[in-house]
Structure 1
Amino acid sequence: MENRFGKITTLEKVMDFFHDGMSLMFGGFGGVGSPPDLISAILEKGISGMTLIGNDTGFPHIGIGRLVSQGRAKKVIASHIGSNPVAGRLMTEGEMEVEFSPQGILAERIRAGGVGLAAILSDIGIDNEIVSKDKQHCFVQGKKYLIETALNAEVSIVFAKKADTYGNLVYDKSARNTNPLVAMAGGITIAEAEEIVPLGSLDPEEIVTPGVFVDYVIPSQGVNWKWAWESN
């Protein structure tokens, strides 16, 4: 297949972007929509001390939860960790820092990072000492807002149903979840795709993530995520 944009590559070649202590943003919701081969390769490389940014911590043996359960993260920024009891234990024992962000705010912080904004303003939780602790605030037209900082990561990893050789991505139903936002917010964005097709094969109306946001595409050979979800 033609690779004139240089984006189609192998799992082995993209692993140079992953290192100890890195910030890693991931797509997925409870494991659905997370890239299985990339996560497996990160585990096999033994990378640790990461800051993970994404919707949740998956399940102990599904999605990003596999990294969390093996103690590879020093910090997680997520909307919840309840589906992964190992994450809860690591948090309470002080072995992993967790920064909670309401799901909608988290999504907006990631989007802001993707479009180059420094922060967003929100009045959610402004009267709650736990939510507003250590956060800056400002006034706009006489109303008080919390300043929620934008989120970026050194590397973003996403999972697509289809990709073309320029990196335009199509997602499978609910596997779309946070992937489009995550794809925008990485210094390097790597897409794992179940199918790679020639440029021009995708209907422009079905493309969700434009290839301009994607640096590399690798073919997925991992387990079927639908099976993994149903078997949990």
Structure 2
Amino acid sequence: MDKVVATAAEAVADIGDGASLAVGGFGLCGIPEVLITALLEQGATDLAVASNNCGVDGWGLGQLLAEHRIRRVTASYVGENKEFARQYLSGELEVELAPQGTLAERLRAGGVGVPAFYTATGVGTQVAEGGIPWRYDSEGGVLVSSPAKETRTFPTAEGEREFVLERAIVCDFGLVRAWKGDRHGNLVYHRAARNFNPVCAMAGRIAVAEVEHLVEPGEIDPDEVHTPGVFVRRVVALTPEQAAAKRIEKVTTRPRPGTAPTGTSGTVTAAGTAAGR
């Protein structure tokens, strides 16, 4: 089955108002930027997003956030986005914060049909006990807070331990970016860009992948496949320019002796792309 669609606009055309999205990436590494931009232009609003973070100001999911198109975010890290903080603290955005590993497992569980699981992470904290502010009102009061979660004791090698029940995440759509993909939807990610992309593809009922290099079926060794095509509904082949357009959040390398400093926040450098694409 050929799952390639002609454009990113076509790939996101049926994402409607109020849809839920699982969006891959970690920081700005491996984010489906082309699909996000197409969704921005498409106009869908009132979105609920599950992603490790919500981009940065003006890039990634930060573009949708700036246009007030996101209603709710489930994430583990949001520290690089000033507009995110402003909307959350002013009561314009509902935010569910989750431990990073727990978030990844909730997405994976949703993808394999496991409705919930027990984990030791968060036991004895507000993660389990409830009370984490999800939404503030305009005056700074807590309007909605996280509920208490079910806990249970299980025997372990170290003796009896308490665990907290976490529910799986299943979204209407999954948006991911892959380094390589074939027409059947089999995907390969490049190094650190693997991050949340596999689990977000699994968690979306309709997974859409933008790929930097489109190849024919059979050209990817089955042992190299990170996301099998069974999880992917649509594939968008990026142009070389789209594939090369990557940003990093912060440049932390020192300039070479005898050269002027190069690279600022948001500038792609060789050092910035070494860990992943």
Give the TM-score taking structure 2 as reference length: 0.78
The answer to whether the aligner puts 1:138 opposite 2:158 as a matched pair is: no
Residue of 140, 150, 153 corresponding to 2:171 = 153
Residue identity (%): 39
Output the aligned Cα RMSD.
Answer: 1.7
* CA spacing shift, 1:159–1:200, aligned 2, 3 Å: same
Quote the Cα distance in structure 1 between the aligned partners of 2:234 and 2:110.
20
* Structure 1 unaligned regions, length at least 5: none
Give the TM-score taking structure 1 as reference length: 0.92
Quote the Cα distance in structure 1 between the aligned partners of 2:216 and 2:122.
47
Judge conservation of contact 2:54–2:81 (CA < 8 Å) in 1: yes
Residue of 237, 240, 246 corresponding to 1:226 = 246
Give the letter for the 1:139 counterpart.
T
Give the letter for the 1:226 counterpart.
K
Quote the Cα distance in structure 1 between the aligned partners of 2:248 and 2:126.
39
Residue of 23, 27, 34 corresponding to 2:24 = 27
Residue of 6, 9, 13 corresponding to 2:5 = 9
* Structure 2 unaligned regions, length at least 5: 131-146, 252-264, 267-277
Judge conservation of contact 2:120–2:164 (CA < 8 Å) in 1: yes
Mapping for residues 83-94 of structure 1, pairs under 5 Å: 83-94=80-91
Aligned residues: 228
Shift of residue 130, structure 1, vs aligned partner:
5.5
Q: For CA contacts below 8 A with separation 6 or more, give which structure has more relative contact order.
A: 1
Judge conservation of contact 2:25–2:51 (CA < 8 Å) in 1: yes
The structure having more radius of gyration, on CA atoms, is 2
Mapping for residues 25-174 of structure 1, pairs under 5 Å: 25-129=22-126, 131-133=128-130, 134=147, 135-141=149-155, 143-174=161-192
Quote the Cα distance in structure 1 between the aligned partners of 2:66 and 2:151.
35
Quote the Cα distance in structure 2 between the aligned partners of 1:147 and 1:179.
24
Judge conservation of contact 2:128–2:151 (CA < 8 Å) in 1: no
